[in-house]
Amino acid sequence: MDILTLLRQHAGDYRCPVCRRPLADCRMRQLTHRGSQYTIEVTCRKCTMAFVVALEVQGGEGADSAVTASDTGELPPISADDLLEVHRALVGYHGPLTALLEPPGEREP
């Protein structure tokens, strides 16, 4: 199953960290995919706040795959407070979010 389709099925269970509206109809865009790890840009349709979610899919492709956010065994789950911090940090940033994910040295001038 496509990762965005899988996420779409669960998006309504979560709320926008800024306006608290359910994210059922949010916009989603896949930024990176390495093995079982994905980063997805999620944009709230009401307040247009965008944030990046890191996911690891366990159990291979399929309807019963488990999707856990930041389930690396090293980091705690991403909280709404974490997302608000990112939102505040990016308030003055107008470039593409993907540029923030590229390692230094690989950025285009």
Residues binding Zn ion (CB under 5 A):
16, 18-19, 44, 46-47, 49
Nearest distance, CB of residue 84 and Zn ion, angstroms: 11
Closest to Zn ion by CB, 29 vs 46, is 46
- Taking the C-alpha atoms of residue 90 and residue 74, their distance in angstroms, rounded to an integer, is 25
Nearest distance, CB of residue 106 and Zn ion, angstroms: 31
Nearest distance, CB of residue 2 and Zn ion, angstroms: 24
Closest to Zn ion by CB, 75 vs 80, is 80
Closest to Zn ion by CB, 8 vs 46, is 46
- Taking the C-alpha atoms of residue 34 and residue 103, their distance in angstroms, rounded to an integer, is 15
Q: What would the two tokens of residue 51 be?
A: 């944030």
Round to the nearest angstrom and report the end-to-end CA distance of the chain.
Answer: 37
- Taking the C-alpha atoms of residue 78 and residue 21, their distance in angstroms, rounded to an integer, is 18
